[in-house]
Structure 1
């Protein structure tokens, strides 16, 4: 098996390349940032990761999200249609559907993205889905929730630093439910999709099998650090008041960060497991998180 990965220099791409190569899969990489790029026709599948990864605030305009995440994706897809590559796997995001939800998110959940990142990912999905596929080609759209693994510098790393310094986690009173995705599980899903020729093109949510509360996640970090958990049980009502104050004085980023820590986002992976004919993914949510946490220690 030979896989072509765009965006292989990013956190997800680097990890996928490493994990695939450990499984004996040959990986080719392609940068689509420069003019004149061409697809490698000898590959069996193309995993498209290239894009603006997060709502980081470093992008000059909303238009940049759509230019890179949507229209560049469409351009790569059209090149794929002219190539001899069989499978196109687009790594979208659960943010193309929702940022948070008090209901379990499935593939039938109406898409209501709220950020430029999420809206650009949804537009990319729509652009690809409206193009007719020739015989012998497949399109898989994957909507992962928060992906984690070695080298992660996002919210999990921030929480780890809090636990490492022994700072009490202030929102332990909120028992939310959030889904995560270990990079090992994402690699497994992609490989199984490619290896199963009987599967038809489709869109799948991808998450670990079990959700976990942020408070439990922090406790797991303390446990992995061999420290006693430290937390504060600030009432939920007070937390909402605090976030409103931050928002009122223009600190929307603080409100957003607190929201990510305390809101619900439970994602069902039932459809992808049914398609692959499996009962569970290789790593449980806890096993995957422990592996990531241990990588922070190194």
Structure 2
């Protein structure tokens, strides 16, 4: 029973995870709404299929909609109800491991200090609330002794060919545009997709790791100023960091809320806020070093653009 079933297999994390697990000799099969050859549809995923599998890794979900065009019900339909259905099937089967890809946004939208698993969750967005509802359903069930259940809360995931929130900063540096917000001091956590796949592989292999919630992040949090410098170093273009007074920056952001310029209030907050996540709990149970430092992971991502 070395088969690992992966939902959301066509997404960025799913594609990387399948390649990673296959590289380490593990068989995988994807579950998709529009299956092709060698994939399952959600209707075809049943207890009989799960009985033949070691794990069900549930990556599929509705991502946070930055344009705010999605109905609230769509988040709960995908992130909560689908998870409940799959988890119920898992509990009825002989499948051993269930991994649910949640998000740090299920715990907190803003972080004071360092975010750990002990925090009392208080999500603000419907995305975070739908993820937390799925977590709470999983935690409400008794887990049989022969099964393991992991709820993973990654921070911002990046990797080769996935720009994510790094795209705006990359555009600043690559076009020689000064980064105006050097006056802000912050720390943000990221996780490279390679480190995330490494952790999932360790969870599959090590039956001694207890079920529970685990925050997933690189070892080091870095400031946005450091991020800009790393991008410049990677593409061999000197990063221009200006310490523009906050009064002027806030004025520009307010203009951006009305006119289509690269900076607005929401982007300013994303670039300058603190969001530091501890990976201490997962590191203690794995007892291995992550493959990539935060800087090396970002360099790999930027080099692929």
Q: Same fold (TM over 0.5)?
A: yes
- Give deviations 1:111-154, integer Å, cap 9, x for gaps: 11111111111111001110122231111000000000122142
Residue in 1 that maps onto 2:277: 267
Maintained 8 Å contact 1:15/1:149 = no
Maintained 8 Å contact 1:73/1:124 = yes
Work out whether 1:288 is the aligned partner of 2:269.
no
| Offset, 1:13 | 1.0
Work out whether 1:204 is the aligned partner of 2:214.
yes
Structure-2 change in CA distance of 1:6 and 1:290 (3 Å): same
The answer for unaligned runs of 5 or more in structure 2 is 35-40
Maintained 8 Å contact 1:31/1:37 = no
- Give deviations 1:160-219, integer Å, cap 9, x for gaps: 122111111111221210000011110111111111111221100010000001111111
| Offset, 1:57 | 2.8
**2-side partners of 1:244 and 1:161: how far apart?**
21
**2-side partners of 1:57 and 1:76: how far apart?**
29
**2-side partners of 1:174 and 1:226: how far apart?**
24
Work out whether 1:54 is the aligned partner of 2:70.
no
State the number of aligned residues. 294
Work out whether 1:36 is the aligned partner of 2:43.
yes
- Give the 3-state SS of the residue equivalent to 1:141 in structure 2: strand
Structure-2 change in CA distance of 1:292 and 1:144 (3 Å): same
Residue in 2 that maps onto 1:221: 231
Structure-2 change in CA distance of 1:98 and 1:245 (3 Å): farther
- Give the 3-state SS of the residue equivalent to 1:121 in structure 2: helix
Residue in 1 that maps onto 2:16: 15
State how 1:103-114 maps to structure 2 within 5 Å. 103-114=113-124
Structure-2 change in CA distance of 1:64 and 1:163 (3 Å): same
Task: After superposing the two structures, state which structure 1 stretch, 188-197 or 52-61, moved more.
Answer: 52-61
- Give the 3-state SS of the residue equivalent to 1:275 in structure 2: helix
TM-score, normalised to structure 1, is 0.91
- Give the 3-state SS of the residue equivalent to 1:147 in structure 2: strand
**2-side partners of 1:113 and 1:254: how far apart?**
23
State how 1:151-170 maps to structure 2 within 5 Å. 151-170=161-180
State how 1:80-159 maps to structure 2 within 5 Å. 80-159=90-169
State how 1:177-192 maps to structure 2 within 5 Å. 177-192=187-202
Task: After superposing the two structures, state which structure 1 stretch, 117-126 or 9-18, moved more.
Answer: 9-18
| Offset, 1:239 | 3.1
Structure-2 change in CA distance of 1:35 and 1:143 (3 Å): closer
TM-score, normalised to structure 2, is 0.89
**2-side partners of 1:110 and 1:239: how far apart?**
33
